[in-house]
Amino acid sequence: MRHRLSEQVAAQAVEDAAEGVTGAISPPRGAGLYHACNAALKRALGDKARNEMSLAELEAALEWLGRNRLREHLHLLEGDHRFGWATRDRQGWTPPVGRAAKAGPRRTSKAVATERDRSGTAGE
C-alpha cells in the first residue's frame, strides 16, 4: 500500500515537472519536486509518516491523492528551510587568484617539549 502511494506521488511529481509548477514554492527543474510532494502529502495528512499509518489511513491517503493534486498543497511547505529554493547569483563570483601565503612550519607539542628540555626550563 505504501508503495502504491509513493508511485502516485511520483506520477504527480513527473506530471507537474512536465507542466511546470507555479505557486508559492516553485522548485527549479529537477530539484527535488518528488521530495517536496512527499512532504506536502505528509503535512496534508496530519504530519504522520507512512510507516506509522494504519492500513485504513493508507487507503484514505490513496483516495485523497486520487482526488487532489499535491501542487495545490505545496503552500504547506512555506517557511521550511529544506524546501526554500533560491537561484544563486553566479554573476558576482570570480575564481580565486594565486595561492594563499604559507604560514610556515607548524610546531607540534613534541617539538615544543624538546625545545623546553634543551633550554632547561621544563620544571619552571
Give the cell for residue 41.
Answer: 502529502
Let me know: does 12 contact 70? Beta carbons within 8 Å. yes
| Residue 57 scores a pLDDT above 70 | yes
How much is the pLDDT for 24? 45
Residue 63's pLDDT band, with cuts at 50, 70 and 90, is: very high
The more confidently predicted of residues 101 and 45 is: 45
pLDDT of residue 55: 92
pLDDT of residue 80: 74
- Average pLDDT (81-109) is 64
- Based on its alpha-carbon atoms, the radius of gyration of the chain, rounded to whole angstroms, reads 28
